[in-house]
Structure 1
Amino acid sequence: MQDPAAPGTWGLVATLKAEARAILNFAAWHLEQGAHRLFLYLDAPCPAALPHLKAHPRIRVIETTEAHWQKRRGRVPQKHQVRQSLNATRAYRRQARDLDWLIHIDVDEFLWSDTPISAHLAGLAPDTLCARVRPLELLAGSADHYKARLPAGKDAEATGTRLYPRFGSYLRGGFISHVQGKLFVRTGLDDVDLRIHNVFVGGAENPAQTELDAVDLCHRHATDWDHWLHHYRYRLQKGSYRSDLRPAKPRAAGGVTLHEVLSALEAEQGESGLRAFFDEVCADGPELRRRLQAEGLLRTRPLAQTQARQKHFPDFR
């Protein structure tokens, strides 16, 4: 277990809406990675997980009921992104005083490093205020194979087309989910507002930022076809495929948003069109692995979630 007094002590804040096993897997994995404190805001009731979370000495769990929001804001914020940002900012300002760093991540995101995360954070320059971890995106159907984002530059579009001949030009960094990653933010700063992918300190966005290349954010955005399809409608309307997000390249260069691509596929071909997109871009398979390997973009990141959960929450069944 990480020494609480050691430099680089870190914690995380998350707003969670998932079934109990997923929540406990998420919590246990990050405790195993050395998190000193987890601030978990339940965006929906989860009575199967709640007693296990409350009993753990390194977890602070907050049930964000309607009464909770009425007391804090006078109403429940409609957008989940707003609720996430408010919860993360509150945790930073009021609860993270015994930490050196705080990161805001989601229940399908898992921090991974082959050496202690605290050591990487402790090694940052004293004037570094935030450190970005970049995502890997799960190959759907695989337990531990991920793809890295395409390196930026003039060859990115050609690489994307080699990997995904039909849909690559519509993807940002070769991903269907975010490429921005998430931020560790140094604690003790004044006038801090956390967002999903960024932080504002005194109105300045991401001041004194660096890249934390030794730590990955393993994003399990789509675990299989059924999981992807189950979340598709919500993501199309309110999440990572929504209409107000920018296309991967400028409109003048032929850019089209992922929202437009998926909506057109569904309108013209129904579920079979969506399945064609999923099979090319998301689904694990030997041919996609081969192409990713050839481009230097295949990663293996085993996450021993079950073992971690059984260690930290042994009474959960």
Structure 2
Amino acid sequence: MRWGVVTTVAEPPALLAAFVAHYAQLGAGAIRLYFDRPDPEAAALIAQVTGVEVIDADAAFYSEELGLRGKPAQLNRKQRFNADHAMRTMEVDWLLHVDADEFLAAEDFAAELAAQPPDVDSLHIANGERAWIAGQAPQTIFDGVLRWPVAGPRRRIRRILGAEVAEFTDRGFCGHLWGKSVTRTGRGLKLGLHKPRRDPPAHQVAAKAAKLCHFDGLTRRHWVAKLMRYAELGMYAEPKGPHRCRHAQVAHVKNAGSDPAAAFALHDMIRVIPEDVAEGWREAGLIEAMPCDPAGAARALFGDAVDLSPEAFDAVLSQKETRAPGDARLIADPS
């Protein structure tokens, strides 16, 4: 039973090294990264790992390999085209499609896949979201706890989270809580962002032993930079559907005059859990110790060649060339 993972990336080399090291350690037989923009440094760093393949997803790739009229503008479309290309061309039995900030936690993933009946096309893997405990300074970009959504009626959610946190999150999550999928190849399925696409629909069941750790915003500055960029580009303009909480976050920043200080304060309110609250949430199963260790996997594979400290990650963000006013290099972390 050979499984692989595919992602579309435009992240700093250290994060990609951790991604590759983590999935290699979990037993992925093939790891393919579609580079949304060229990054020779990152490609050279991860190319030494067995099973890793890098594809420069430039305009020529989309026109010559996929038959499109140039490179799609929207990230979601690029991700779908890339994942579908991977489904057709990667020599694996199952393929996991994730973002570069999503890390699988599983004891023996291959065994869980091998145990699936033949009629199962896909497994849905629920995701938690990383949060921090107040007063615990992170040493790496992967420190913190894994948070799970608050279930039940809105009244219960507001009581547990507090009215303000409930307003800016989806049951406690700042990003998505839709999970991701690992899907059998060779069955005519196309990979969506969260689940496979086909008519008739794929037979999908829930994974029992695997979970996904979503590191939405690797540092405070990284999260704020993304939020500021959303505001500058007019994204999440409508308060509807599954993006309601993102709209509330963006609207809050815009109403504050696009002041980064307001975004940092919002981050700390909705992503940092007070110490006196954390213990009760642990007992209620709303947070748990981080069940994966990408930093440890990166150290084991790359040694001192990869610096996963928040300071180093932010420094790389500051050096990036940008085309958007909300980029990280323009935003200083007041802490």
Q: TM-score, normalised by structure 1?
A: 0.83
Residues 231 and 253, structure 2, Cα contact 8 Å, conserved in 1: no
Secondary structure, counterpart of 1:213 in structure 2: coil
The residue number in structure 1 matching 2:263 is: 274
CA distance in 1, matches of 2:269, 2:131: 11
The residue number in structure 1 matching 2:294 is: 305
The residue number in structure 1 matching 2:200 is: 204
The residue number in structure 2 matching 1:262 is: 250
Matched, 1:119 2:119: no
The residue number in structure 2 matching 1:3 is: none
| Matched letter for residue 130 of structure 2 | L
The residue number in structure 2 matching 1:129 is: 121
Matched, 1:64 2:41: no
CA distance in 2, matches of 1:35, 1:111: 11
The residue number in structure 2 matching 1:195 is: 192
Structure 1 runs, 4 residues or longer, greater than 6 Å off: none
1:162 pairs with one of 132, 135, 160: 160
* Mean Cα deviation higher: 17-26 or 278-287: 278-287
**Deviation for aligned residue 1:188:** 1.5
Gaps of 5+ in 1: 1-6, 250-255
- Percent identity, aligned pairs only, is 23
The residue number in structure 1 matching 2:87 is: 92
Q: Are residues 204 and 225 of structure 1, via their aligned partners in 2, closer, same or farther at CA, if it must alter by over 3 Å?
A: same
Residues 224 and 260, structure 2, Cα contact 8 Å, conserved in 1: no
Matched, 1:103 2:96: yes
| Matched letter for residue 254 of structure 2 | E
CA distance in 2, matches of 1:47, 1:214: 37
**Deviation for aligned residue 1:193:** 1.7
Q: Deviations over 1:100-127 (max 9, x none)?
A: 21010011110002x2111111222221
Secondary structure, counterpart of 1:41 in structure 2: strand
Q: Are residues 244 and 304 of structure 1, via their aligned partners in 2, closer, same or farther at CA, if it must alter by over 3 Å?
A: same
| Matched letter for residue 124 of structure 2 | R
CA distance in 1, matches of 2:165, 2:299: 40
Secondary structure, counterpart of 2:207 in structure 1: strand
| Matched letter for residue 242 of structure 1 | Y
**Deviation for aligned residue 1:299:** 1.1
**Deviation for aligned residue 1:41:** 0.7
**Deviation for aligned residue 1:224:** 3.3
Q: Are residues 173 and 284 of structure 1, via their aligned partners in 2, closer, same or farther at CA, if it must alter by over 3 Å?
A: closer
CA distance in 2, matches of 1:245, 1:309: 39
Residues 138 and 218, structure 1, Cα contact 8 Å, conserved in 2: yes
Count of matched residue pairs = 295
1:292 pairs with one of 259, 281, 284: 281
Q: Deviations over 1:204-255 (max 9, x none)?
A: 34x211111321110010233212111113345779x723573469xxxxxx
Cα RMSD (Å) of the superposition? Answer: 2.6
Q: Are residues 215 and 17 of structure 1, via their aligned partners in 2, closer, same or farther at CA, if it must alter by over 3 Å?
A: same
Q: Are residues 290 and 236 of structure 1, via their aligned partners in 2, closer, same or farther at CA, if it must alter by over 3 Å?
A: farther
**Deviation for aligned residue 1:69:** 2.5
**Deviation for aligned residue 1:314:** 5.3
**Deviation for aligned residue 1:147:** 0.5
Q: TM-score, normalised by structure 2?
A: 0.79
Residues 169 and 270, structure 2, Cα contact 8 Å, conserved in 1: no
The residue number in structure 2 matching 1:148 is: 148
CA distance in 2, matches of 1:164, 1:262: 20
CA distance in 2, matches of 1:236, 1:268: 11
* Higher normalized helix content (fraction of residues): 2
Residues 157 and 171, structure 2, Cα contact 8 Å, conserved in 1: no
